Amino acid sequence: MPVVDAEPGPFEFQTDSTALLVIDMQRDFLMPGGFGESLGNDVSQLRRTIGPLAALLAAWRGAGLPVIHTREGHLPDLSDCPPAKLTRGAPSQRIGDPGAFGRILIRGEYGHDIIDELQPLDGEPVIDKPGKGAFYATNLQNILDKYQAKSLIVTGVTTEVCVHTTVREANDRGYECLVPADCVGSYFPEFQQAGLKMIAAQGGIFGWVGASPSLITAIQE
Ligand code: TIU
């Protein structure tokens, strides 16, 4: 059985019941000049995940294991966006407003799609989600049932928002989750650090925290 060095202790998983989740690696969040940066965020904090995640994806795909991608966003008429979410942002930089890469976080727009470096392959599910968590108002549970998944590798952005919400949702549904620290990113270094600590604290209250090199070695052994 593959074993990964992790906190609070070794993470063991079966390759035939583990899926790799790639959360929201979208241009709106990661590209210089995009929505995330226009809000004053430092996108380099997210972009450092691209290299490690590309390497993990290549190894995971090479081993023939399932990959699932998600994108946060909304229908063009915003009918799936709660008013409280819509009105929260700075005026003129709200969901649906025109941005550098199309309407901000709207499905079908260039900025809403996944960055070129991590584009999904044909056949890999891409889940469009209206919330922060990947289970809320999506068919993720059905897809995981089809794979008979028991464990999840959760990667992507941002650590304390969509990654955390998804790990919490998954943990409550009975999945064992490993978060490779080098494959998740936050705009805020202090949130990255605290977010990772929170997952593994109290004996792994939400899951395990490791790193991609040990994970890649584990699936190649
Ligand atoms: N994908 C995700 O985390 N969505 C966010 O809105 N994150 C922020 O950190 N804002």
Express each pLDDT in 85-111 by its tens digit.
Answer: 999 877 778 999 999 999 999 999 999
How far away, in angstroms, is 40 Cα from ligand 1 center?
14
What's the mean per-residue pLDDT of the chain? Answer: 97
Q: If you measure from the C-alpha of residue 162 to the centroid of ligand 1, how many angstroms do you get, rounded to a whole number?
A: 6
Q: Please, are residues 118 and 57 in contact by the beta-carbon 8 Å criterion?
A: yes
Structure confidence at residue 66 as a pLDDT band (50, 70, 90):
very high
Are 23 and 185 a contacting pair, CB within 8 Å?
no
pTM to 2 decimal places: 0.98
The whole-number pLDDT of residue 134 equals 99
Nearest CA among 216, 217, 221 for reference residue 60: 216
Report the alpha-carbon distance of residue 140 to residue 23 in Å, rounded. Answer: 12
Q: Which residues lie closer than 8 Å to 209 by C-beta, 6 or more apart?
A: 6, 7, 178, 179, 180, 181, 196, 199, 200
C-beta of 114 in contact with ligand 1 (< 6 A): no
Average pLDDT over residues 178-201: 98
Active-site residue, selected from the candidate residues 24, 28, 113, 182: 24
Q: Are the C-beta atoms of 150 and 178 separated by less than 8 Å?
A: no
5: annotated active-site residue: no
Q: Is 24 in the pocket of ligand 1 (CB under 6 A)?
A: yes
Interhelix angle 50-62/212-220, rounded to 10 degrees, is: 10
SS3 78: coil
Residues 6+ apart with CB under 8 A from 212: 52, 53, 55, 56, 180, 182, 183
Segment holding 75, helix H or strand E: none
Q: Whose CA is nearest to atom 1 of ligand 1?
A: 162
Separation of CA 220 and ligand 1 centre (Å): 32
Active site residue 24: yes
- Choosing from 28, 81, 113, 129, the catalytic residue is 129
171 lines ligand 1 (CB under 6 A): no
Residue 157 Cβ < 6 Å to ligand 1: yes
Reply yes or no on whether the pLDDT at 221 is more than 90.
no
Phi then psi for residue 128, to 5 deg, are -90, 120
CA-nearest residue for atom 6, ligand 1, is 161
Residue nearest to atom 2 of ligand 1 (CA): 162
SS3 26: strand
Which residue, 20, 11, 19, is CA-closest to 147?
19
| Neighbour-count burial for 99-129, b at 16+ CB within 10 Å, e otherwise | bbbbbbbbbebebbbbbeebebeeeebebbb
Tell me if residue 150 is catalytic. no
Residue 12 above 90 pLDDT?
Answer: yes
Q: What is the pLDDT of residues 14-64, one digit of tens each?
A: 999 999 999 999 999 999 999 999 999 999 999 999 999 999 999 999 999
Distance between CA atoms of 103 and 121, rounded to whole angstroms? 25
What pLDDT shows up at residue 89?
A: 76
DSSP structural state of residue 198? H
Q: State both tokens at 162.
A: 């969509």
**Which helix (DSSP H) or strand (DSSP E) does residue 88 occupy?**
none
Evaluate: CB of 104 within 6 angstroms of ligand 1. no
Determine contact, residues 96/78, Cβ cutoff 8 Å: yes
| Average pLDDT rounded to a whole number, residues 166-182 | 98
Cβ(29)–Cβ(163) below 8 Å: no
Which residue among 162, 177, 182, 183 is the active-site one?
162
- Give the length of the chain: 221
